[in-house]
């Protein structure tokens, strides 16, 4: 059976990247590795749209999230966390695990934060050290307006920390131009790599908090990593094969051009939305992002049954997490994905829904998507 991986991470990997990662391991303290590392450092800054070094860790994306917390805060510090899904909630869980006081700005699942509500909390309490946000809330498919949040937060003493794990290389995030202080990401979403690399980039404003941050840390010590990377080294053994693969995926992304990469994801997202809506289904997010489309399971059909129907046909999509379990299913269109992947998913969705007794006219979803893709 041919397999298709269209879940919101891990995502498919281009053959150029797979081939590079299959080469024999090289040692990381050699000129050969250092040449690769130098290229990766340069290209990561282009991808993050920042001047500062992008630090790399052998971890999943959550490792960089934890790194952002422990390197900028001290016990008892007060922060704002925008919670509108599993990943916003993760920021709060990490902060609470370290004794940081969290002022939550809660938005219902599927909704996006109203930037003015964050401004109101910041105004009430000038002691707030940081605001934690999620650009693409993968659990609901909703996008949060980071540019608008940055415009508010940069006028306050607080820093803005953004989880861009499922939006880096998918949607625009102009870190320096918008005034975002920390961007964290992972390898297994828009970067078209296997899981296992975490990234963090810090503005000068964020770096200024690092020396005074008293939360404990050892591996995720950003200052130590910055010292090493300035010598074109990493503090510890890097995930060599992933970094070798990263060079290839960055080459692919930059050859396509960032604006084209964002436009492609936007087109694929619009085609997917048009396809599911043409089948009479509803989107879960009010302001859906380009990484994945969350769809409400139709009345009387359990979301899990849809995911299972896909799996039976060799296609991996995702269901809902936590309280969204059974109520939604999620189709990813990020990374190494094109219009034919979208058509495959929609064709399969029609068959799966028909199997489950949902009234569908075969071809209607595919046709709606094709009309978008043809433009
Ligand atoms: C995937 C993801 C993460 C990180 O998850 P890991 O499993 O730790 O890589 C964090 N935030 C968002 C928005 C994600 O999509």
- pLDDT, tens digit (0-9, with 9 covering 90-100), for 322-336: 999 999 999 999 999
CA of 10 to the centre of ligand 1 (A): 10
Ligand 1 site-directed mutation target among 87, 183, 195, 318, most atoms within 8 Å of CB: 87
The whole-number average pLDDT for the span 79-91 is 98
CA of 32 to the centre of ligand 1 (A): 31
Does the structural domain 15-255 have CATH classification 3.40.640.10? yes
If you take atom 4 of ligand 1, which residue's CA is the nearest one? 61
CA of 87 to the centre of ligand 1 (A): 7
> What per-residue confidence (pLDDT) applies to 326?
96
CA of 7 to the centre of ligand 1 (A): 12
Question: In ligand 1, which atom is closest to the CA atom of 136?
Answer: 13
> What per-residue confidence (pLDDT) applies to 334?
98
CA of 53 to the centre of ligand 1 (A): 21
- Residues with CB under 6 Å of ligand 1 are 9, 60-62, 87, 134, 136, 138, 163, 165-166, 186
> What per-residue confidence (pLDDT) applies to 343?
98
> What per-residue confidence (pLDDT) applies to 3?
97
pLDDT band at 6 (very low <50, low <70, confident <90, very high): very high
Question: In ligand 1, which atom is closest to the CA atom of 164?
Answer: 13
> What per-residue confidence (pLDDT) applies to 286?
98
> What per-residue confidence (pLDDT) applies to 61?
98
The CATH number given to 258-373 is 3.90.1150.10
CA of 372 to the centre of ligand 1 (A): 29
If you take atom 2 of ligand 1, which residue's CA is the nearest one? 165
CA of 362 to the centre of ligand 1 (A): 34
> What per-residue confidence (pLDDT) applies to 129?
98
Three-class SS of the chain: CCCEECCCCCCCCCHHHHHHHCCCCCCCCCHHHHHHHHHHHHHHHHHHCCCCCEEEEECCHHHHHHHHHHCCCCCCCEEEEEECCHHHHHHHHHHHHCCCEEEEEECCCCCCCCHHHHHHHHHHCCCCCEEEEECEECCCCEECCHHHHHHHHCCCCCEEEEECCCCCCCCCCCHHHHCCCEEEEECCCCCCCCCCEEEEEECHHHHCCHHHCCCCCCCCCHHHHHHHHCCCCCCCCCCHHHHHHHHHHHHHHHHHCHHHHHHHHHHHHHHHHHHHHHCCCCECCCCECCCEEEEECCCCCCHHHHHHHHHHCCEECEECCHHHCCCEEEEECCCCCCHHHHHHHHHHHHHHHHHCCCCCCCCHHHHHHHHHHHC
Question: In ligand 1, which atom is closest to the CA atom of 291?
Answer: 15
Spans of all domains in the chain: 15-255, 258-373
Question: In ligand 1, which atom is closest to the CA atom of 167?
Answer: 13
Ligand 1 site-directed mutation target among 88, 138, 141, 142, most atoms within 8 Å of CB: 138
> What per-residue confidence (pLDDT) applies to 241?
97
Percentage of residues in the chain having pLDDT higher than 70? 100
The whole-number average pLDDT for the span 238-264 is 98
> What per-residue confidence (pLDDT) applies to 116?
96
> What per-residue confidence (pLDDT) applies to 270?
98
CA of 256 to the centre of ligand 1 (A): 25
The whole-number average pLDDT for the span 54-72 is 98
- pLDDT, tens digit (0-9, with 9 covering 90-100), for 130-169: 999 999 999 999 999 999 999 999 999 999 999 999 999 9
> What per-residue confidence (pLDDT) applies to 16?
97
> What per-residue confidence (pLDDT) applies to 80?
98
- pTM of the entire predicted model: 0.98
> What per-residue confidence (pLDDT) applies to 311?
98
The whole-number average pLDDT for the span 226-240 is 97
- pLDDT, tens digit (0-9, with 9 covering 90-100), for 163-187: 999 999 999 999 999 999 999 999 9
Q: What is the mean pLDDT of the chain?
A: 98
- pLDDT, tens digit (0-9, with 9 covering 90-100), for 38-62: 999 999 999 999 999 999 999 999 9
Question: In ligand 1, which atom is closest to the CA atom of 62?
Answer: 8
> What per-residue confidence (pLDDT) applies to 91?
98
pLDDT band at 96 (very low <50, low <70, confident <90, very high): very high
């Amino acid at each position: 059976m041919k397999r298709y991986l269209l879940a919101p991470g891990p995502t498919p990997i281009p053959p150029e990247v797979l081939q590079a990662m299959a080469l024999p391991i090289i040692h990381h303290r050699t000129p050969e590795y250092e040449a690769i590392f130098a290229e990766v450092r340069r290209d990561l800054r282009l991808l993050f749209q920042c001047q500062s070094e992008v630090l790399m860790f052998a971890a999943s994306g959550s490792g960089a999230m934890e790194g952002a917390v422990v390197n900028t805060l001290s016990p008892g510090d007060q922060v704002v966390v925008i919670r509108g899904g599993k990943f916003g909630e993760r920021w709060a869980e990490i902060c609470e695990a370290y004794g940081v006081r969290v002022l939550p700005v809660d938005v219902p699942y599927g909704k996006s934060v109203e930037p003015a509500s964050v401004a109101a909390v910041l105004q009430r309490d000038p002691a707030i050290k940081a605001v934690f946000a999620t650009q693409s809330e993968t659990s609901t498919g909703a996008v949060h307006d980071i540019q608008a949040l940055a415009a508010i937060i940069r006028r306050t003493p607080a820093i803005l920390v953004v989880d861009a794990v499922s939006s880096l290389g998918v949607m625009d995030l102009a870190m320096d131009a918008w005034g975002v202080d920390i961007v964290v990401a992972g390898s297994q979403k828009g970067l078209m790599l296997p899981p296992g690399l975490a990234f963090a980039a810090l503005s000068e404003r964020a770096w200024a908090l690092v020396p005074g941050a008293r939360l404990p840390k050892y591996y995720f010590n950003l200052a130590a990593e910055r010292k090493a990377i300035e010598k074109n080294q990493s503090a510890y053994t890097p995930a060599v094969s992933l970094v070798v693969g990263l060079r290839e995926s960055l080459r692919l992304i930059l050859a396509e051009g960032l604006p084209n990469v964002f436009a492609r994801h936007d087109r694929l997202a619009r085609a997917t939305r048009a396809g599911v809506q043409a089948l009479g289904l509803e989107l879960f997010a009010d302001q859906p992002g380009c990484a994945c489309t969350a769809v409400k399971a139709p009345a009387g059909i359990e979301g899990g049954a849809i995911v299972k129907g896909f799996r039976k046909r060799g296609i991996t999509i995702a269901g809902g997490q936590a309280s969204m379990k059974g109520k939604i299913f999620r189709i990813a269109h990020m990374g190494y994905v094109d219009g034919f992947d979208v058509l495959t998913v929609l064709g399969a969705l029609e068959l799966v829904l028909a199997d489950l007794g949902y009234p569908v006219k075969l071809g209607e979803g595919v046709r709606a998507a094709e009309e978008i893709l043809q433009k």
